Copies of this chain bind each other. A is one copy, B any other.
Amino acid sequence: MIDETLSEKEQIRSAGLKVTHPRMRILELLENSSKAHLSAEEVYRMLIESDEEIGLATVYRVLTQFEQSGILQRHNFETGHSVFELDRGEHHDHLLCVSCGMVEEFHDEQIEKLQHEVAERYDFKTIDHSLTIYGNCKECKNGR
């Protein structure tokens, strides 16, 4: 979960990481992206298009570090690759359009509560949970 009042530099520092060129560029990119959910390959391509000489290995490494320090969240939808988004603190679930790939976020307190009850019922210590609804969005449902 990030503190929006911290600058990129401060966020990276407080994650215990050196403030380097690749890390700054990647964090800026995530914060300025119009798409909330990006894959490593997408981040890499966007950097290349901005004439940044950042290797693919570095992109994967930095994204993983950002995830581990809580700057980013990683999601594994059923697409065969991970996508990342800024962790803004509020837990949410996803609606994913299988036609156009669009991702919509939602939060439902009632569902959250029921999930905790289920975990309790099975004597499970919840670490994380993910709920994704796959389907067709408004646009794709009708024409396209």
Residues of chain A touching chain B, judged by Cβ–Cβ distance below 8 Å, are 76, 78, 95, 97-98, 104, 106, 108, 110-111, 114-115, 118-119, 121-138, 141
Interchain nearest-CB distance for A142 vs B (Å): 10
Interchain nearest-CB distance for A117 vs B (Å): 8
Interchain nearest-CB distance for A83 vs B (Å): 12
Tell me, in angstroms, the Cα distance from A78 to B97 when the chains sit together: 20
Tell me, in angstroms, the Cα distance from A79 to B115 when the chains sit together: 21
Copies of this protein, total: 2
Tell me, in angstroms, the Cα distance from A129 to B98 when the chains sit together: 12
Which of B114, B129, B136 has a CB less than 8 Å from the CB of A114?
B114
Interchain residue pairs A-B with the least CB separation, the first 7: A123-B138, A129-B133, A126-B135, A131-B131, A125-B136, A127-B135, A128-B134
